[in-house]
Structure 1
Amino acid sequence: MLADDPVQLTDHAPRALPYDAYERIRAAVARLHVPAYVVVTPGWTQVAPKDDDLIASLHDRLGKDGVYIVTDPSGSGAARHFGGTLPADRAWTAAYLRSGRDETLVEQITRFVDLVSAPDAQRRIEQAREEARRDDSSDGPSESDIRDRKEMAAFGAGSALTGVPLLALLLRRSSRRGAARTARR
């Protein structure tokens, strides 16, 4: 899929992404002047496997260097640059920290591209991170909020993986008991 089209958007969150998200994301990452691959997943899949593991796996499968971004529609994800020196991971975190609650993923990706492609990228990234730390009234999540969200998502995914089979077993057992009671009558 990525080999044919470097921007892949989930269709599981149509209301979370603007109607023109695909075109706007393609236009934004084109400004990087290096190959860029963007995968927007449903929120629950981004924690299993970890973002960095998924990015490394995508890079290994595709076999091409460039900037890889894996995120959910809320912007919680990661970015990494293979075969170059762009500080993609730090720029992604800075863009996420500076995003407000009413901003779209497209706006976050645009901010990321602005940060990582600036001639003074390291300074701008540090400035954005510092502003996020200082800005107590910021609508954007703190670094600890990011960790908390990922931990809660991992907990939820683990609970679902454990709970669904257990629920199925209990329902099966319950239906067998009901059938046995009906047969005895």
Structure 2
Amino acid sequence: MFTGIVQTTADVVSINKLHGLKQFGIAIKPEFCKNLISGASVAVNGVCLTVTEQRDDKVFFDVMEETLRVTNLDVVDEGHQVNIERSLSFGDEIGGHIVSGHIHTQAKVVSVKNTDDHFNLTLEVAPTWMKYILYKGFIAVNGCSLTIGKVENNTFELYLIPETLKLTNLSEAGLGTFLNIEIDSQTQSIVDTVERVLKTKELI
């Protein structure tokens, strides 16, 4: 379980293609590896991955075919930066919102507004997910807990503050970039429950 507060970015330094998976070697700064052991969970671009090994300054993760299919890790290459968040520990402050690390879909960047005053992204997702994307609601984008801005048709806007741009890889997003999306679980539960209730009433 995570909070969507990205702690740092890290360089992907190796990718080995194995049978049915890719093994990522990521150079995570030592201060973010304290007490990190094999079997621990780390969110990489918002994807919950399991540490398989630590060697020198690298942390290794195995990424299965299904994860590669659903997320943008399949297009991450050596030299790319990924967002990193360690799993939530008992007593930690929850500064964002509860995030599972299970990606629902990807969103395509269709507009970037980068000026001296603001950095805004407009993302487009498949229509089936739009019912869960609500103005002022929560969403996790590449593992970053964000508040949803304007919603229109199959798109929604994000308004990014300098601190978010400094700590994450979202500043690198350009037109056509695909970002990992995790829908807020509470929003999804409420929407699905209301839909079921309404369908039940229609049948009465």
State the TM bucket, normalised to the shorter chain. under 0.3
Structure holding more strand per residue: 2
- Kindly indicate whether structure 1 or structure 2 has the higher relative contact order, using CA contacts under 8 Å at least 6 residues apart: 2
TM-score for both structures, normalised by structure 2 = 0.25
TM-score for both structures, normalised by structure 1 = 0.27
